[in-house]
C-alpha cells in the first residue's frame, strides 16, 4: 500500500463498506451487544484483521481485539480503540453514503426533498474544509462516522504497518467495542488481558481536536406512582402521573439544558418520559466536567423532586442515580507522557492541536479509571447522531498520519 492518495482511497473504501452495517445500539436490550448488527459487523472485522495478517480474537462479548507484534526492543504496548455501534437516536439502517468531491464551499445538500443541508452558516467547522472530500448520508439515516471513521482509520493503519515492516513500532493492540453509545462499551472489557500500557480512542470530531477530559456522567431515573379516579370526582383525590412528570421536566432551568450550554457548562437532559395517569417513568442524563458542580446539579434536581412530593402528596415519587463515567482528566494528568507523545505526533503531521473537553464521554473515560489512560483523537467528522452528520476523508487521512506518528514516537 502506497502512502498518500493510496491511504485516502483505502480509508474511503473501508468506510463506505462499514457504514452499510446497521449497528444501532439499543438501550432497552437485555443482551450484550445490544443489537444483532453489531455481532455481524464484529465478525466482519475479525475476518478483515485476519486477512491483513494481524493476530485477532473475538470473545463471547464480541470485543474484537487485534495485535501487531513489535519490531523494536523494550517498548511500551500501545492500544488504539474505536466503537462499532451507532447512536440509538437516529436510524442506521440502509445508510447510503454520498461522497461530495472537492468541496468548494457553500451548501451541501443531503436531501432536497427533506430540506436537509449543511453549510458554514449552520455548521461553522465546514468553512475550513474547502477542497476536501466530504461524505454524508442521504437524509434518511445518520452516516455512522461515529465511530466507523475511527475503525476505518485504525484498520488502514494496521494494514500499513504490516505491509511496511521497516517502520519502527511498539507492540500495538487494537480493540473494537460494542455499545459505547449507550454507555456499556467497557462493561466486560478485560483491561489486564488487553495488556496495553497506554491507549487512545479514535472517537473525536474535526481535524486537530484532541480530548483529555470528559463529563462526569450519571443516569437519572424517576418513577411516579399516581392515583387514578374519575375526572368528574377528581378534586382532592386524583394524582395524575403524566402531569407530575411534565411539571418536573418543566421545572428544570432553561439555562441548564444541552441546547443552552457549551464548553465546560453542565446540563441535565430528559431523554425519555413515558406516562399514564397511574404511572410515569422518566430518564435523564446528568453531565458536568467539574465534580463539585456535578454534585450541585444532582442536588438541584433532587430539590425539585422533593418540592413535587410536597405539591402532589397523593403520588409517590422515587428517583435513583446510576454512575455512567467520570472525567478522565484526573487520571491522564497523572500520566503526562500519553498527551506529550500525542502532541509530538500532531506536530510532526503538521496539524495544530485543538485541546478541548468532550461534551460527552468516550470508552476512554472508563478505561482511564480502569488503569488504562486513554485520551481521544479526532476522526474528521461532525454533527454526529443525526442526518446532518458528515466526515472529511482528508481529515480521516490526517488522523491516520497522527496514529502512524504515534506508533513511531512510542518506540523512542
- Give the whole-angstrom CA distance, residue 323 versus residue 216: 9
- Cell numbers at 338, concatenated: 500519553
Residues in the chain: 412
Is residue 85 annotated as a catalytic residue, yes or no?
A: yes
CB 116 within 8 A of CB 377: no
Q: Rounded distance, CA 65 to CA 50, Å?
A: 11
Options 26, 85, 146, 409, the catalytic residue: 85
Q: Which of 22, 180, 197, 205 is catalytic?
A: 180
Rg (CA), the chain: 23
Residue positions annotated with a catalytic role: 85, 180
Amino acid at each position: 500500500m502506497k502512502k498518500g492518495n493510496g491511504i485516502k482511497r483505502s480509508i474511503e473504501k473501508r468506510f463506505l463498506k462499514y457504514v452499510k452495517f446497521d449497528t444501532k445500539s439499543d438501550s432497552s436490550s437485555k443482551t450484550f451487544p445490544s443489537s444483532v448488527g453489531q455481532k455481524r459487523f464484529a465478525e466482519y472485522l475479525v475476518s478483515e484483521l485476519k486477512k491483513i495478517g494481524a493476530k485477532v480474537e473475538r470473545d463471547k462479548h464480541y470485543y474484537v481485539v487485534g495485535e501487531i507484534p513489535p519490531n523494536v526492543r523494550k517498548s511500551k504496548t500501545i492500544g488504539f480503540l474505536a466503537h462499532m455501534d451507532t447512536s440509538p437516536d437516529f436510524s442506521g439502517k440502509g445508510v447510503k453514503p454520498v461522497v461530495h468531491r472537492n468541496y468548494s464551499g457553500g451548501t451541501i445538500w443531503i436531501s432536497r426533498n427533506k430540506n436537509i443541508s449543511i453549510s458554514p452558516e449552520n455548521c461553522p467547522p465546514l468553512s475550513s474544509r474547502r477542497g476536501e472530500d466530504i461524505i454524508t448520508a442521504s437524509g434518511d439515516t445518520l452516516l455512522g462516522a461515529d465511530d466507523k471513521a475511527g475503525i476505518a482509520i485504525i484498520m488502514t493503519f494496521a494494514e500499513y504497518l504490516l505491509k511496511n515492516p521497516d517502520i519502527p513500532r511498539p507492540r500495538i493492540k487494537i480493540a473494537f467495542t460494542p455499545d459505547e453509545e449507550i454507555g456499556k462499551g467497557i462493561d466486560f472489557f478485560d483491561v489486564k488481558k488487553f495488556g496495553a500500557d497506554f491507549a487512545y480512542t479514535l472517537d473525536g470530531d474535526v481535524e486537530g481536536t484532541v480530548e483529555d477530559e470528559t463529563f462526569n456522567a450519571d443516569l437519572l431515573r424517576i418513577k411516579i406512582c399516581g392515583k387514578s379516579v374519575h375526572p368528574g370526582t377528581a378534586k382532592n383525590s386524583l394524582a395524575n402521573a403524566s402531569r407530575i412528570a411534565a411539571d418536573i421536566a418543566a421545572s428544570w432551568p432553561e439555562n441548564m439544558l444541552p441546547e443552552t450550554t457549551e464548553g465546560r457548562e453542565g446540563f441535565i437532559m430528559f431523554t425519555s418520559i413515558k406516562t399514564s395517569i397511574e404511572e410515569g417513568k422518566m430518564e435523564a442524563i446528568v453531565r458536568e466536567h467539574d465534580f463539585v458542580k456535578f454534585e450541585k446539579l444532582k442536588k438541584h434536581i433532587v430539590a425539585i423532586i422533593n418540592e413535587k412530593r410536597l405539591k402532589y402528596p397523593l403520588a409517590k415519587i422515587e428517583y435513583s442515580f446510576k454512575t455512567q463515567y467520570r472525567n478522565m482528566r484526573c487520571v491522564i494528568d497523572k500520566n503526562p507522557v500519553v498527551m506529550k507523545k500525542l502532541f509530538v505526533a500532531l506536530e510532526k503531521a503538521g496539524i495544530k492541536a485543538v485541546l478541548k473537553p468532550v461534551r460527552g464521554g468516550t470508552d476512554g473515560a472508563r478505561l482511564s479509571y480502569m488503569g488504562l489512560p486513554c485520551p481521544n483523537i479526532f476522526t474528521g467528522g461532525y454533527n454526529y447522531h443525526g442526518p446532518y452528520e458528515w466526515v472529511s476523508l482528508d481529515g480521516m487521512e490526517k488522523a491516520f498520519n497522527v496514529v502512524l506518528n504515534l506508533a513511531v514516537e512510542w518506540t523512542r
